[in-house]
Each structure stands twice: as structure tokens, then as C-alpha cells.
Amino acid sequence: MNVYGLIVLAALLLEFALRVTADVLNLRALDPALPAEFQGIYDADRYARSQDYTRVRTRFGLLRATFDLALLIAFWFAGGFGWLDHRVRGLGLGPIASGLCFVAVLALARALVALPFGSWSTFVIEERFGFNRTTPRTFFTDLLKGLALTALLGGPLLAGILWLFERSGGHAWLWCWLVSTLVSIAVQFIAPTWIMPLFNRFTPLAAGGLREAILAYARSVDFPLQDIFLIDGSRRSTKANAFFTGFGRHKRVALFDTLVERLGTVELLAVLAHEVGHFKRRHVLKGMLLGLVEMGGLFFLLSIFLGHQGLYDAFFVTRPSVYTGLVLFALLLTPLGLLLSVLGAALSRRYERQADAFAVVTTVSGGPLATALKRLSVDSLSNLTPHPFYVALHYSHPPVCDRIHALEGASP
Ligand SMILES: [Zn+2]
């Protein structure tokens, strides 16, 4: 065990310890008394049920995290990475095809291990609490489509990255950065028209009051909204959502049918105003730019560590190669990844507060968004009293009571 191995092992254990601590604190923070914001909206039975949902999901998440960690450490110390590399080399393929094989086997194994957990979560837990609408058929076709997409989009990109690192010496990381940037922009362009329709049906929202109200709001804030779609989210879950896609003057919004069922026009407009706020405050653009900067930094670090024999030794891989280096480097990133995810979540919570504030200003009152949040929280049995440490570690949105408090406080 060298310094690389120690860093990765320590980071994995630290990450696990933080997670367990956050979970325990979060469970202890479950308070049987209903928060004042939800008086009259939640009945006692359903509130108790929401806490039960949090408990069940937390225990299940812990079980899964423990299993994943134990499996990774067992695979590592049984010499799994070196063994797999040896087997792949035995096929006598070139460095790029070998790399694709090596990564594909690991990715497939991961998907296979995740399968029982994913199906338990959907068909047992979500089912028990009345959220699940996914049929086994949808579940498995989703899985296959996801794997096919990963192979189709990720395979060529990975081959390109391996090729660049094999061929273009010291500047390889810059080329990889450029290529990955172009690919990620291209994917965002084709996602709304080519990828998302593989999973959901998009139907244009019929003419009528809701459509007119949305278009009028978009005009009032000078937002170039081109299309409004309804999406059949109810095929998988009763949980509701809405999102925007598109670039420049070609923005479109997709509303889950479950959202339209549950909210009135005024509340729906408030939810959309929040989403428009993310564009107007340039959160989408900033998020993309940050992602690109992060990617460049990672490729640069990768180019440095690829040549360090110690990284391969730590994982019992005898013959260094670009593709094993790539996988081991991803593990070496565990401590940095943990830090970046906590910082990223904090930034995201800040953006959410700004988007809420935008909705208040442009729809005159925070009331409708507060009502929408309350209704959606009750429907999805959200945890109303998360522990601050858990929030810092995992929450991309501020706790719902904080948001409601800010929204109602901001109302005239
Ligand atoms: Zn948001």
C-alpha cells in the first residue's frame, strides 16, 4: 500500500463516515410535530407516513452504500483491476480496443450490481408508498436504452480520448478537453429532439387558458419561449416535475402531466417563473462553463498522473496503460470529488434561492410558488425537517420550509 492507495482508501472511508453521520443526524431530526408552514395541509397520518418514507429510504441507501464500498474494496484488494487488465490483454487487441473492453466490462458489472437495488427501490419502496407507475417492461427497456446510449455516445468519445493520449504527447489533455467540450455541447443540442423522446412522449400543450397564460408570462419577462410540451411522466412515477431545454431563441418547456394535474394555472406559472429565473440569472450558462472548466482541470490532472507508476502499484496493476490509468485516476479523484460535490450543492442552493426570488418579483407574489411547493412536498412525502449537515452534504435545493418562509416573507 503506497501513498496513492492510502489517499483513495482514506477518502472512501471518510466519504462513507460522513454519509453515515449525515444519515443518523437526519433520522434523529425527524420531529413528529408538524412544521407551522404545513398546518392545515398535511394531516397527521400522512405526515407520519412521510417520515416513514424518509426512514425506509435512508436505511436502504445505507445498505446500498455499504455494499458498494465493500465490493469496491474487495475487488481492489483481490487484485481485480490487474486481473481484468491481464485478461483483456490476453485478447491481443490494440491499446484502444483493449481500453474499450476494460471500461465496458467494469461499466457492465456496475450496471449489473445496481440492478437489484434499482428494482427494489422502484418496485418495493416506491410501490409501497404509492409513487410507482413503472411497469417491469418500462424498467427494463429504460435500462437497455440507457446502456445502448452510453455505448453509442460514450464509446466513441472514450476511444477518441485514449487515441489522443496514445498519440499526441504533452498536449493530449488540451485536445481531449476540446473534443469533450464539443461532444457535450452537441449532446445538449440533440438531447431534446433525439434522446429525450426515446424515454418519454412529448405532446404540444393544447391551446387554451394554460398555454395562453404561459406564453403571456414568457412575453412579460422577455423570454423567447418557442414551444410548450406535455410529457408523460406518469408512465414512471406520480412525482411531478418541469424543465426547460434549448438554446438561444429556441427555448422549449416540458411540463410533466403529473404537474399539470396537481397544480392550478397560477401555481404552474409560479413554477415556470422559477425555471425562467434560472435562465435569466444565467445559472444554466454559468453551470455549463463551470462544468467545462472542471473538465479541463481533470484532463490536466489526468495527464500528470497517467505517468505515475505509484498509481498503478496502488491498485496492483503491473503494466501501466492509458485506459487503466483513466479508471484508477477516477478513484484517485474521490477526495476532490467529495469537495466539489459539497461546493456544487451549496452553489446550487444559492441559485435556487435566486430563482425563487425571480419568481416572486415577476409574478408579483411569492404566495403561489409557496402553495405549489407545499402541495408538491406533500405529494412526494418530502422530508420537511432535514438536518443541516445532511443538507450541506446532499441537498441541491434549500429545505422546503426555508424556501416557503422566504417566499411568504417576500409577499406583500
Ligand atoms: Zn430550480
User: What is the per-residue DSSP string for 140-202?
Assistant: HHHHHHHHHHIIIIIHHHHHHHHHHHHHSGGGHHHHHHHHHHHHHHHHHHHIIIIIHHHHS-E
- Contact yes or no for 242/253 (Cβ under 8 A): yes
Show Cβ contacts of residue 16 under 8 Å, excluding neighbours closer than 6 positions.
65, 66, 69
- Contact yes or no for 133/238 (Cβ under 8 A): yes
Catalytic residue among 37, 275, 352, 379: 275
How confident is the prediction for the chain on average, in pLDDT? Answer: 93
Q: How far is the CA of 390 from the centre of ligand 1 (A)?
A: 19
| pLDDT at residue number 62 | 97
| pLDDT at residue number 189 | 85
| pLDDT at residue number 125 | 96
pLDDT tens per residue, range 267-316: 999 999 999 999 999 998 899 999 999 999 999 999 999 999 999 999 99
Q: How far is the CA of 353 from the centre of ligand 1 (A)?
A: 8
Closest among 239, 253, 240 to 210, alpha carbons compared: 253
Confidence check: pLDDT of 387 > 70: yes
Confidence check: pLDDT of 193 > 60: yes
What mean pLDDT do residues 93-109 have?
96
85 is catalytic: no
227 is catalytic: no
Catalytic residue among 15, 23, 37, 356: 356
Q: How far is the CA of 356 from the centre of ligand 1 (A)?
A: 8
The whole-model pTM stands at 0.92
Confidence check: pLDDT of 206 > 60: yes
Q: What are phi and psi of 315, to 5 degrees?
A: -110, 15
What are the C-alpha distances in Å from 52 to residues 46, 129, 131, 382?
10, 9, 14, 11
